[in-house]
Amino acid sequence: ERLEAAGFELVNQTPLPVACFQDASHPKGRELSYLKAMAETVVSSGKTWISITSLGDTTPALRACITNFRNREEDIDALIGLLKDARDHAS
């Protein structure tokens, strides 16, 4: 819900703690090069780690795997803040 409220679109449905998503608010938000730039910006912050994946043969997406039992809502909000900041650098 928080990702979608921030303009991201989930592209997977799974009961596992893995969210795959694209940037629905940006014209390039479904392009591999844009998503790679976003992931690099987030990872280079040193605050969290996300990756790129492909769903099916052609759907690139950012992937966040939230598995630490110590994660809190504030941690999710921090990730979303980093993703929003990365939009500016990935354009």
**DSSP state for residue 52 in the 8-state scheme:** E
Distance CA 73, CA 59 (A): 28
Q: What is the pLDDT of residues 41-80, one digit of tens each?
A: 999 999 999 999 998 877 999 999 988 889 899 999 999 9
Bridge-based pairing state of the strands 8-10 and 59-65: unpaired
pTM of the model: 0.90
